[in-house]
Amino acid sequence: MTLKHAPFGLWPSPITPELLGMRIRLEDVQFDSDGETLVWQEGRSGKRVLVVRKPGDAPRDLTDALKIGGGIGYGGGDFSVRNGLVAFASEGRLYRQRLEGERPRAITPKFGDLASPAISPDGSKILFVHSYERRDCLALVDSEGLRWPVQLATGADFYMQPAWHPDGERIAWVEWNHPQMPWDGCRLVTARLNGAELTDIQHVFGDENIPVFQPEFSTDGRFLAFLANDGEWDSLRVLDLSTSQVRILVENASLLDPAWVQGLRLFGWDGTRLVYARNDKGWRTLWAVEATGGESVPIATAPYTWFGQVTVSARGQVAFIASAPKIPTRIVSLAEGNLRVEKYSEAESIPAGYLPEPQAIEWPAPDGMPVHGLYYPPANPAFTDEGLPPAMINIHGGPTSARTSSYNPDAAYFASRGFAYVEVNYRGSTGYGRSYMLTLRKNWGPVDAEDAVGAAGALAALGLADPQRMVIMGGSAGGFTVLNCLVHHPGVFKAGVNLFGVSNLFGLDEDTHKFEERYNISLVGELPAAAEHYKKWSAVFHADKIRDPLAVFQGADDKVVLPNQSESIVEALRRNKVPHVYRLYEGEGHGWRKSETIVDYYETLNKFLKEFVLL
């Protein structure tokens, strides 16, 4: 095949905006207690739907008109399934529905927000997390909805991950208080349920500086397993309920994800052993270890390189949401060593040659610490060009998060058009040890901007991209970095792309949702002492310094970063006649859900890049 010559960045690609707008978001998957039935959650354009797949049957939608979602923080933990019953959150109410022959029925009154329903072993009760007028609690309701829900645990600012003991009399959960985030430190608590009251409440593990994650009782009732971090790396531990002794099964590994949403799962019980996921700088593998100790045994999951929402059935099957750089997101089950695809997120009609493989790259920060990133080279089997490609340098949100070897539609979209694409896992990202994550403490602004600029320098030094045609892009906290790079490091990047980015740290404190309203204390410092840092790294106060072209995208219904954060920057761009585009999307929040929004976003971005970067 003869390759056609065409300018980098302008290669025709089969990965179109319309194709990306059609993708299904696969958000959670769980086994029912029969060990064979699967229930999962799909996001289709602006709607979420629950789907069931029973043995020998085709997948079937469970929900239709109801809007699935709990609304606590960033969401998540929208449903659970047990004994043929699914419980799910929708617009401030908890619903129940039999998997066979029943319409959804509300069992709580409509008020507040709720998440993480957990059905009791006998199916008679449901635990859930509730939030109303900024007060959170762990609540309980009978599964028929015959009585009013009751508050069980109160007093903490936040709750997540409630779990039942098999005897139906003991429960566990995680809680924490402001100004901690759950990855900073939280508490694992157990208690006995006596009617509608808790007794024998015990703080098992964790504190303000030790995070804990995902308590799960063993199926035989002997152990309570959980993940924790009380050092540089994470550990998987079990509490022996008969002796109250905690045993470490796995240590010195990257096992936790930051709990940005409710309902995350990274391990599950398979009889007397635990099946768990571990992360090696963005590549994930699956392992098993006996609860009584011993060596961990790897479980083959190739060709998948990243997965989450691990669920284990009563029959020893495992299911998860999986992908790889050349494999779009799927729901996959694993039984007796055999992998089976339960659901595809898209048609998978794109030839592999258009899907780039990431390469792990490193470069030194000014303090000498290695900074990590993933580099995706241009990938198009039909086209080539001379010289160096332009680069899209993406800064992830959070900022306590990370980009991994999962399927990356943005990387595929840009690489197939002839861009190099880079994910910057700047200091502060997770998956590289706690010291790496803590480097951003009191340094949000200067450190992430340094690492973004360092990525551009590394690409140029390694001969991987054209230093005169680099674009910095990012959303939320990543948008904060984009704006600060354009303010404090003008000219490094040919243009910027800001998606619902933070421009005013003072405004973020005042207007954001409860989950993050004290986050700046650890990232920046506490007011009024940190006021100078707030002002220096709030781009709104320095927007007149921005001269590089900038594309700004914002959701009109964003409750995390309000539209005024983007509009204040756009006003300065207009005033100073800086080339820019601005899109305010009605009906969208902190990220795009509607197909029409996704299509317009990529089409608008294409035009912006052609005009200000490529031509």
pLDDT for position 615: 84
- How far CA 541 is from CA of 421, 481, 509, 547, 560, in Å, comes to 30, 15, 16, 15, 20
Position of tokens 């020893």?
316
pLDDT of residue 544: 96
Tokens representing 36 are 């064979």
Spatial distance between the Cα atoms of 160 and 176, rounded to a whole number of angstroms = 9
Helix ranges (H only) for 129-178 are none
pLDDT tens readout for residues 16-27: 999 999 999 999
Q: Is the pLDDT of residue 448 over 80?
A: yes
Beta partners for 114?
Answer: 130
For residue 86, the SS3 value is strand
Distance (Å, whole) CA 353 – CA 153: 53
Q: Tokens 């971005």 correspond to what residue?
A: 605
CA terminus-to-terminus distance, the chain? 28
Query: What is the number of other CB atoms lying within 10 angstroms of the CB of residue 246?
Result: 15
Go through the domains of the chain in sequence order and give each one's CATH number: 18-344 (2.140.10.30), 351-614 (3.40.50.1820)
pLDDT at 110 over 90: yes
Share of the chain above pLDDT 70, in %: 100
Task: Give the strand order in the sheet containing 470-475.
Answer: 359-364, 370-376, 420-425, 391-395, 470-475, 495-499, 550-555, 580-585
Residue 485 main-chain phi, psi, to 5 deg: -65, -40
Segment 495-538, tens digit of pLDDT: 999 999 999 999 999 989 999 999 999 999 999 999 999 999 99
Contact 364, 371 (CB under 8 A): yes
Q: Helices then strands (H, E): number in the chain?
A: 10, 38
Amino acid letter for position 55: P
pLDDT at residue 101, rounded to an integer: 78
Question: Can you give the pLDDT at residue 358?
Answer: 97
Q: Phi and psi of 601, rounded to 5°?
A: -60, -50
pLDDT of 442 above 70: yes
The residue type at 190: T
In this model, does residue 1 exceed pLDDT 80? no
- Model confidence over 576-605: pLDDT tens digits? 999 999 999 999 999 999 999 999 999 999
Higher model confidence: residue 580 or residue 46? 580
Instruction: List all residues 6 or more positions away from 186 whose beta carbon is below 8 Å from its beta carbon.
Output: 158, 174, 175, 176, 180, 206, 211, 212
Mean pLDDT for 380-398 is: 95
Question: Which amino acid type is present at position 108?
Answer: T
Contact 374, 412 (CB under 8 A): no
φ, ψ (nearest 5 deg) of residue 532: -65, -40
* pLDDT classification of 2: cutoffs 50, 70, 90: confident
Q: How far apart are CA 268 and CA 392, in angstroms?
A: 38
Once rounded to an integer, what is the mean pLDDT over residues 345-372?
96
149-184 burial string, b = 16+ CB within 10 Å, else e?
Answer: beebbeebbbbbbbbbbeeeebbbbbbbeeebbbbb
Return the pLDDT at 195. Answer: 87
Q: Cα-Cα-Cα-Cα dihedral of 523, 529, 530, 532, to 10°?
A: -170
Average pLDDT taken over every residue of the chain: 96
Name residue 130's amino acid: H
Share of the chain above pLDDT 90, in %: 96
Cross-strand pairs, 470: 391
Structure tokens, 241: 């309920």
Q: Is the pLDDT of residue 298 over 90?
A: yes
C-alpha–C-alpha distance, residues 75 and 264, integer Å: 11
- Quote the pLDDT of residue 196: 87
pTM of the full structure: 0.95
Three-class SS state of 515: helix
Q: Given a cut of 80, is residue 80 above it in pLDDT?
A: yes
